Amino acid sequence: MSVYFEVYEIVKGIPSGRILTYGLISNLLEKRLSAQGVGWALRALSSDKANKKYHSGNVPWHRVINSSGGVSTTRNTEMPPDLQQSLLEAEGIVFNSEGKLDMQKYLWAERLVSAVSLAILAFAVMLSLTVLPAYSKPTPDQVLQELKSGNKRYLSGKTKHFEVDSAKRELTAINGQTPVAIVLGCSDSRVPVEMVFDQGLAELFVVRVAGNVCATSELASIEYGVKYLGIPLVIVLGHSECGAVKAAVDSAVNGALLPGNLPTIMSKIAPAVAAARRSHPNEKGDQLVHSSAIANVWLSANDMLSNSTIVKEAVFSGKVKIVGAMRDIKTGVITFLGEYPQPARLMTK
């Protein structure tokens, strides 16, 4: 049987009101045909009903969509671009204002669970993202150990996660995200968070802002990760030679002024600079910047703990740990600074 005919047999089985994606069908075929090839197979359907088995009238091509939940506008140039959406809406499928549907709601999950394709099931199990087993949430210490190991892999060049397979994109779109750690990091382009921890798609919940400060928007994102995603570990990741910290030091020492909204960020870092100057009165230049960057890590940790009841309750109940860390720009090494607050302080709340 031609692989095109295998595509048609799969598509013929999709029930009304349900969908599959081009990529998932490719996976069911053990990638003997690419996602794009699945699209070409559907475009090759004849409109001639003399072919009683495979024509566009009896193979519901419109129930195959792209991985983002959108419909194809190029299946056949002779057809109106909104035909596919209209056919799906007639089956009760609802699209949002952006022309996207809810993947989790309308996916034909039964076909994926019962698929005999061992390759895709094995791949899903390997990624721990298959719909079959229940998700087992790791402990904060387990996550911390994995991030330490990930940084070692990154330093050695033996990474596991830099390439993202289309199957994993599909699975995370279907099953949602289960990140194991929140990372509050700096926007500096030299600190790509997933890369330096060697973590893959949907494994880290990253909040990035210049100077890794913890203002209202950043804190709200962290609260979402803690409360609704159940993430057990928060890393505050500073780094050497941080431009935002340098600017805050320059402002404190020399009275330098910054334009626009930059003073807002400087005001969040300023208390860390003041603390570093008190603790290290003889430090200047790069030494003071480095000490200020470390103090700023602890300041951000303190801000999230002090200003959020959600985070505070999670930390004091032992569900979440906050850990400080610094990345050396030149070597790539991440130094873990310890837990905040210290465990002894947690006992007194």
Please say whether the dihedral angle defined by the alpha carbons of residues 17, 23, 27 and 29, taken in this order, is positive or negative: positive
Q: How far is CA 5 from CA 2, 97, 152, in A?
A: 5, 35, 48
Pick the CATH number of 140-348 from 3.40.50.460, 3.40.1050.10, 3.40.50.970, 3.40.50.300: 3.40.1050.10
How does the average pLDDT of the chain come out, rounded?
Answer: 83
Give the per-residue pLDDT at 115.
52
Give the per-residue pLDDT at 142.
85
Is the pLDDT confidence value at 67 over 60? yes
Confidence grade of residue 46 (pLDDT, cut at 50, 70, 90): low
Q: Name which residue leads in pLDDT, 280 or 169.
A: 280
Contact in structure between 239 and 293 (CB atoms under 8 Å)? yes
The b-or-e profile of 112-129 (16+ CB within 10 A means b, else e) is beebeeeebbebbeebeb
Query: 297: which residues sit within 8 A by CB, 6+ positions away?
Result: 212, 236, 237, 238, 324, 325, 326, 337
Fold match between domain 3-116 and domain 140-348: no
Confidence grade of residue 336 (pLDDT, cut at 50, 70, 90): very high
Report the CATH fold assignment for 3-116: Arc Repressor Mutant, subunit A (1.10.10)
C-alpha dihedral over 255, 260, 265, 267, to 10 degrees?
Answer: 40
Average pLDDT of the residues in 186-206: 91
Pairing mode, if any, of strands 321-327 and 334-340?
antiparallel
Contact in structure between 20 and 27 (CB atoms under 8 Å)? no
Q: Report pLDDT digits (tens) over 111-134.
A: 665 553 444 434 444 433 333 344
Is the pLDDT confidence value at 57 over 60? yes
Domain-wise residue ranges, the chain: 3-116, 140-348
Confidence grade of residue 103 (pLDDT, cut at 50, 70, 90): confident
